[in-house]
Structure 1
């Protein structure tokens, strides 16, 4: 058991070492894309906490992403906040909206929960459009360079942006790993596997699910705030259904209920979209075919299948 634990931590730290070194051997274009992938992977990590580990199939995570994005972007736009306070506001915004969403939506379960979260996300998107004079609606707004500064580093430039994205990703990954190896993480998995038996053991499903959804919102809020501050754009389009489906696809491709699955899924999906776009105008057909093949031959995702067949120690 101890040997497996050391192996798990070594694997995660090795990945972080490779990513940290990537800025030295990737071109600026690819390094910027990798920074974007790491931010989206944080978003997918949050979705994985809710869906992969706790069994909460949500279609409302775009609302949480947008909450973090606007909670960071609007203070920067209206009051000139710097990146540090703006990021904290985005983190809190995602967590707070997730907690409120959970208090209401967790009165349902299964397909009903999925539909309710979708309705709340759509209501959030329409709210952003209604208050377009402030939110700028679908047009969005650019975050001023003065607000994209942290400890004297300009996050709009390549190296600071990459390092900031890496720091957020590394923190999210290690926290996720520690959480899943903790008693609370085991409780989340128990809720996914057999909620009634967990209730008989004295756990409150509503409380556990609410905590899991709030943690998921913190991750989504961090991703939204990071996207706004590192890439300088905030827009209502991030609250559309597309950004609720994307983290689901990342998690399903990489492996639901695996700590590295969200990153692998985000990386492969990003690469697949880039490659398919360069080959044909019907790139969505290629992406759809790849997802169908994945469902048929690796229904538990890539790392989920690897864990099931060859490496049962993978977290």
Structure 2
């Protein structure tokens, strides 16, 4: 069996398990897994830029929020149907990513991190400034009647779960295909040795820009989907916290692995959920656990699995 066939089988197997879980999970975990799948799609978008291209962005909440507000505002202000609104969210996210990429890629290293953070903060402040439309920190609700796509009510838990599974499945399989293409291999080459990739004749700037745009579009897709499926759009999703979350999820699961973002998101979500039920100082428990994992599993769960057991994992 070829490596590509084994990889495809493993990732389709995960999607099959998630499909079956819809029928056996209790209501609480059913809702949690749906939320985790959408957030994992966001982490997948971040992983393309950080894990595969080697560009650390501290402003990815800008793309997530761009998709969410692009979708939410056209539904709230103009009554656009959900599918068209999702496309608007994707378009807005892509344009924001293109603009940021053209500017931020003039820098590198720490400067790139700072520039992306500043742009994200500017986006957050813009959301607050136009509070007349965005409702600022309070946010706004997308009504149930506005969340019906092709006759399917996305506020229904079962429909929402399957929609989240489709969103996650598309993001996962697109990334799996990407890393097997020549374009994906060039991104990895840029991550490993940018100067050598340039000497081999590759246009490093254009490849980086394409990675920023693709990462931004997938993140915006997750943001727009999150707002539509869970019926809420708020400024908290544009804050620094939502730029740090995908970094943690990817580091925990394994940067530069296709499955890492999902594993990291799942682990972090339930770590906080379970520890908050034990003590009000739940972030202390989460922090100690994260430090321990960083020390003893520096490549993340899936990264360590690839290093020690399955070297063929993409």
3-state DSSP of counterpart to 2:102: helix
1:28 CA drift (Å): 2.2
- Name stretches of at least 5 consecutive residues in structure 1 with no aligned partner: none
Matches within 5 A, 1:17-96: 17-96=16-95
Normalised to the residue count of structure 1, the TM-score between the two structures is 0.98
Deviations 1:12-35 (A, max 9, x none): 010000001111001122111111
Cross-structure match for 2:252: 253
Count of residue pairs the alignment pairs up: 314
SS in 2 for 1:25: coil
| 1:142 matched to 2:141 | yes
Correspondence list, 1:164-179, <5 A? 164-179=163-178
Structure 2 counterparts to residues 75-154 of structure 1, below 5 A: 75-154=74-153
Q: Does structure 2 conserve the Cα–Cα contact (< 8 Å) formed by 1:60 and 1:244?
A: yes
Determine helix, strand or coil for the equivalent of 1:229. Answer: helix
Q: 2:189: which partner in 1? A: 190
Question: Residues of 2 paired with 1:12 and 1:206: CA distance?
Answer: 31
What is the alpha-carbon root mean square deviation over aligned residues? 0.8
- What's the CA shift string for 1:98-141, capped at 9, x where partnerless? 11100000000011000000000001101111110011100000
Question: Deviations for 1:12-66, whole angstroms, at most 9, x for unmatched residues?
Answer: 0100000011110011221111110000000000000000000010001001000
Verify the 8 A CA contact 1:49 1:216 in the aligned structure 2: yes
Deviation at 1:87, TM superposition (A): 1.0
**Alpha-carbon distance, 1:205 to partner:** 1.3
Per-residue CA shift, 1:182-206, capped at 9, x if unaligned?
A: 1000000001000000000111111
CA distance in 1, matches of 2:153, 2:26: 19
Retained in 2: the 8 A contact 1:82–1:146?
A: no
Is this contact kept in 2: 1:38–1:169, CA < 8 A?
A: yes
Whole-Å separation in 2 of the counterparts to 1:109 and 1:301: 25
Deviates more, 1:135-144 or 1:88-97: 88-97
Partner of 2:263: 264
Distance (whole Å) between structure 2 residues aligned to residue 30 and residue 306 of structure 1: 26
Matches within 5 A, 1:198-213: 198-213=197-212
Cα pair 1:59 1:118 within 8 Å, conserved: yes
Cα distance in 2 for residues equivalent to 1:89 and 1:26: 33
* Alignment check: 8 A CA contact 1:76 1:144 kept: no
**How much does 1:5 deviate?**
1.6
